[in-house]
Amino acid sequence: MSNLSGIFHSAAEVPDFAKIPRIEGRILIGGKIRSSGFKSRPVISPCSLVGPDGKLSNPEIGTTPDLDEKQFMEAVDAAALAWNKGRGEWPTARMEVRIQAIQSLKQQILAQRDIICRLLMWEIAKTWTDAQAEFDRTIQYMDDTLEAVKALDRDCSRIQFSGGIMAQIRRAPLGVALCMGPFNYPFNETFATLIPALIMGNTAVVKSPRFGVLLWDALLEAFKNTLPPGVVNIVNGSGRTIISPSIQAGKIDVLAFIGSSPVANKIKLAHPEPHHFRGVLGLDAKNPALILPDADLDIAASECVRGSLSFNGQRCTALKIIFVQKSVARPFIQKMVEAVEKLKVGMPWQPGVSITPIPDPMKLGQLKSYVDEAIQMGAKLSNPKSGGRVEGSLYWPSLVEGVPLNSKLATEEQFGPVVPIVEYDSTDEFEDYVVHSPYGMQMSLFGRDPEKLGGLIDHMANQVCRINLNAQCQRGPDVFPFTGRKRSAEGTLSVTDALRSFSIRSMVAAKQDPSGKQLVQDILHGDHSHFLSTHITL
Ligand code: G3H
């Protein structure tokens, strides 16, 4: 037991703010919340507890719906009915009506802050601090979206004149959106697509990720109370079996998916008319860091540790491979080892904890196999004291140096607390790696020489979509564009870009002659249209 003390708690030792939740997951379809009529599967927490016998076990914290194809199709049909081929109450509503509804939704979601954060902690082992940050960032995202949409609405309310034509150009919704967020940000990243989709007038089906499912139950009443029936439908089930039929039937117009590229490809290819099946996708990434010989090694090491190991490295924006110039490799790796050894490993409610349990039970074996393979190919563990230790679902971060570029650790997205390090002679090796990589999200460059950095920027800007100078990779602030090249993304997310991603420009045009002017004026002055309108949302 002694090696476990301080890391694992008994149920009685869990502090009050973190008390174990229990949720029996329900679904929302067509404005009705249902608690029966479907199969469910248990949800087991990755956070281990010590029992009276000293053994570790993982508590069951609830159940989640496990819908079949037919039941999932019901949710899609409910969204299609609310869309009603574009004639539904929601897609034709004035922007100010939708804004008011989303504002009320936000107020009701705020009341669920405590349970949502607690569920993020128990279900995906997000630290209490990070769980609260995820919640608060999402509320901020909602606020920013509402402000951005008001500005967009103001811009679109102008009548434009050109070449004898008068026109009003607005952004109109696309149809039914299928929103699927990832397990690492199940609340934030789903809302980052769902809210823009809704505010632009689309209807939606939300399918929860593999982990991070229970929080949706806490939100059902809020959605039911604030939006017309069928505008949002919230369900769960095995994506592998339930999604394809509705895609094949052409019932989904937009796929908003944050996850893996093979899954995204499979879903997209299932659509009968791919040209009008829009994808808003955040996918795989293998963001590299480059440490130049003149880099400030303290800054580089501290940013690389945060960049590669925040939330156990389970971020699409995590640094997933580090290239360090040979002349500074030893001191850099030494600083990394020292910083990693200081990271506190434990349960997500413990103060100051950084490394927490891994939600996917299959991941521990995968990480071990990647590290073993790299070591067999000549790599070495830089932190053998603790690197790779496993207790329950905790994995102590491994720093692996001398990683061969043809190993899985260099080519696959590990999505976990393993940091591959490659020592290079010339930056050409890094550039070649990036050019031949199938991923293209972000990178971090650490150095001081403006000429060298300028040259790298010019080349690398055509390979990735964000270059971070002397800083880790990250998505935020959310007003900045978040996207990627190659296998890493389709479409762009940011507060404003997302509004465009979930809409299409649609315009009303008339000849700029007396009868055209008169007709437009009559429609405007009589307030006969929600679309052709100069009404401004304040
Ligand atoms: O997993 C991908 C997230 O969008 C990362 O967001 O960089 O703010 O942690 P973050």
pLDDT, tens only, 217-274: 999 999 999 999 999 999 999 999 999 999 999 999 999 999 999 999 999 999 999 8
> What is the rounded average pLDDT of the residues 288-307?
98
Which ligand 1 atom sits closest to the C-alpha of 184?
1
Tokens 């979930």, residue located: 502
- What is the rounded distance in angstroms from the CA atom of residue 364 to the CA atom of residue 353? 19
Q: Would you tell me which CATH number, out of the four given (3.90.1150.10, 3.30.470.30, 3.40.605.10, 1.10.1740.10), belongs to the domain 5-282?
A: 3.40.605.10
Average pLDDT, the chain: 96
For 320, the token pair is 């997933």
427 Cβ inside 6 Å of ligand 1: no
184 Cβ inside 6 Å of ligand 1: yes
Identical fold for domains 5-282 and 287-490, yes or no, is no
Q: Spell out the residues 6+ positions from residue 51 whose beta carbon is closer than 8 angstroms to its own.
A: 10, 57
Superfamily of domain 287-490: Aldehyde Dehydrogenase; Chain A, domain 2 (3.40.309.10)
Q: How far is the CA of 302 from the centre of ligand 1 (A)?
A: 18
Q: If 0-12 CB within 10 Å is exposed, 13-18 middle and 19+ buried, where does residue 42 land? A: exposed
Return the residue whose CA atom lies nearest to atom 7 of ligand 1: 474
Q: Which of 257, 441, 475, 478 to mutate to test the pocket of ligand 1 (most atoms within 8 A of CB)?
A: 475
- pLDDT tens, position by position, 414-446: 999 999 999 999 999 999 999 999 999 999 999
441 Cβ inside 6 Å of ligand 1: no
For residue 1, the model assigns a pLDDT of 39
476 Cβ inside 6 Å of ligand 1: yes
Q: Which of 138, 316, 439, 482 to mutate to test the pocket of ligand 1 (most atoms within 8 A of CB)?
A: 316
For 98, the token pair is 């939708």
- pLDDT tens, position by position, 10-61: 999 999 999 999 999 999 999 999 999 999 999 999 999 999 999 999 999 9
Task: Please tell me the chain's helix, strand, coil percentages from 3-state DSSP, rounded to the nearest 5.
Answer: 40, 25, 35
- pLDDT tens, position by position, 446-491: 999 999 999 999 999 999 999 999 999 999 999 999 999 999 999 9
185 Cβ inside 6 Å of ligand 1: yes
Q: Which of 127, 136, 141, 185 to mutate to test the pocket of ligand 1 (most atoms within 8 A of CB)?
A: 185
- What is the rounded distance in angstroms from the CA atom of residue 343 to the CA atom of residue 298? 16
Which ligand 1 atom sits closest to the C-alpha of 310?
9
Q: Which of 468, 474, 479, 482 to mutate to test the pocket of ligand 1 (most atoms within 8 A of CB)?
A: 474
Q: How far is the CA of 141 from the centre of ligand 1 (A)?
A: 14
> What is the rounded average pLDDT of the residues 170-198?
98
Q: How far is the CA of 94 from the centre of ligand 1 (A)?
A: 33
For residue 5, the model assigns a pLDDT of 62
Number of Cβ within a 10 Å radius of residue 285? 28
Q: What are phi and psi of 8, to 5 degrees?
A: -110, 150
Contact 389/396 with Cβ under 8 angstroms? Answer: yes
Beta-strand (E) ranges in 145-253? 160-162, 165-173, 176-180, 203-207, 232-235
126 Cβ inside 6 Å of ligand 1: no
Q: How far is the CA of 105 from the centre of ligand 1 (A)?
A: 24
316 Cβ inside 6 Å of ligand 1: yes
- What is the rounded distance in angstroms from the CA atom of residue 258 to the CA atom of residue 489? 9
For residue 538, the model assigns a pLDDT of 65
285 Cβ inside 6 Å of ligand 1: no
Q: Which of 311, 314, 315, 480 to mutate to test the pocket of ligand 1 (most atoms within 8 A of CB)?
A: 315
For residue 276, the model assigns a pLDDT of 86
Q: How far is the CA of 134 from the centre of ligand 1 (A)?
A: 10
Contact 129/310 with Cβ under 8 angstroms? Answer: no
Delimit the domains of the chain by residue range: 5-282, 287-490
Kind and range of the H or E run holding 392: none
317 Cβ inside 6 Å of ligand 1: yes
Contact 467/290 with Cβ under 8 angstroms? Answer: no
Band (4; pLDDT cuts 50, 70, 90): low
Residue type, 536: I
pLDDT at 166 over 80: yes
> What global pTM score does this model have?
0.96
483 Cβ inside 6 Å of ligand 1: no
For residue 6, the model assigns a pLDDT of 77
Band (157; pLDDT cuts 50, 70, 90): confident
Contact 399/336 with Cβ under 8 angstroms? Answer: yes
- pLDDT tens, position by position, 76-104: 999 999 999 999 999 999 999 999 999 99
474 Cβ inside 6 Å of ligand 1: yes
For residue 2, the model assigns a pLDDT of 38
pLDDT at 314 over 60: yes
- What is the rounded distance in angstroms from the CA atom of residue 184 to the CA atom of residue 202? 25
DSSP calls for 430-446: HHHHHHH-SEESEEEEE
For 322, the token pair is 């580090």
Which ligand 1 atom sits closest to the C-alpha of 192?
4
- What is the rounded distance in angstroms from the CA atom of residue 249 to the CA atom of residue 376? 48
Cis peptide before 477 (omega within 30 of 0): yes
Which ligand 1 atom sits closest to the C-alpha of 314?
1
315 Cβ inside 6 Å of ligand 1: yes
Return the residue whose CA atom lies nearest to atom 4 of ligand 1: 475
Q: How far is the CA of 435 from the centre of ligand 1 (A)?
A: 23
- What is the rounded distance in angstroms from the CA atom of residue 148 to the CA atom of residue 254? 21
pLDDT at 3 over 60: no
